[in-house]
Amino acid sequence: MVSEEFCPSKDPRVLLFAQLSETNARLERQLDGELRSRVELPLPWFETLLHLRQSPEGHLTMSEIADAIVHSTGGTTRLIDRMVEEGLVARQACPKDRRAIHVAITDSGNTRFDEALGIHVALLAELFDRALSADEQAQLVELLKKLR
């Protein structure tokens, strides 16, 4: 039996992690539900398109995508397979390394992403602005950067 003086489940860091985890899960569930219902784009697909759009080269390798969206390489391969079938992304051979495959967003992917991005931004504004001031949002960004 754990003594009352030391109870690991009540450690402030354990409680902080639980709050972060629960908050993230709730936000992801809301965002995913809206994107699926309004533009038929699951949140992991949206996140992948976002990273591709932000890539200076216009493409990413499979491992870069896996790292960016925090998926296993096998899970990322399956995700990209489904996105290729939908016409949102295309695989391209890497001219410098025949073993590497690049993934690039297609015109159709860009169109769908733009539609989803408007919905995503509006929902984030509603969720964050309701709970946090602009200063609090900026502070949270800085604190999360430190943790990451």
What pLDDT shows up at residue 39? 94
**Interval 5-21: pLDDT, tens:** 678 888 888 999 999 99
What pLDDT shows up at residue 1? 52
Global pTM reads 0.84
Residue the block writes with tokens 């929902």:
123
Let me know if residue 111 belongs to a domain: yes
**Interval 37-81: pLDDT, tens:** 999 999 999 999 999 999 998 899 988 999 888 877 788 999 999
Torsion of CA 85, 89, 95, 98, to 10 degrees: -40
Let me know if residue 3 belongs to a domain: no
Let me know if residue 89 belongs to a domain: yes
What pLDDT shows up at residue 136? 96
Query: What is the count of structural domains for the chain?
Result: 1
Let me know if residue 33 belongs to a domain: yes
Let me know if residue 144 belongs to a domain: no
What pLDDT shows up at residue 114? 96
Mean pLDDT value across the chain: 91
Structure tokens at 13: 């860091």
Q: How many CA atoms lie within 13 A of 96 on its CB side?
A: 2
Q: Which domain holds residue 98?
A: 13-123
Separation between Cα atoms, residue 59 and residue 72, nearest integer Å: 19
What pLDDT shows up at residue 10? 84
| pLDDT surpassing 90 at residue 99 | no
Let me know if residue 41 belongs to a domain: yes
Between 9 and 3, the more confident residue is 9
CA distances, 134 to each of 122, 131, 141, 146 (Å): 15, 10, 11, 19
Let me know if residue 4 belongs to a domain: no
Domain CATH code at residue 68: 1.10.10.10
Other Cβ atoms closer than 10 A to 65: 24
Residue spans of alpha helices (H) in 40-106: 43-54, 62-69, 73-85
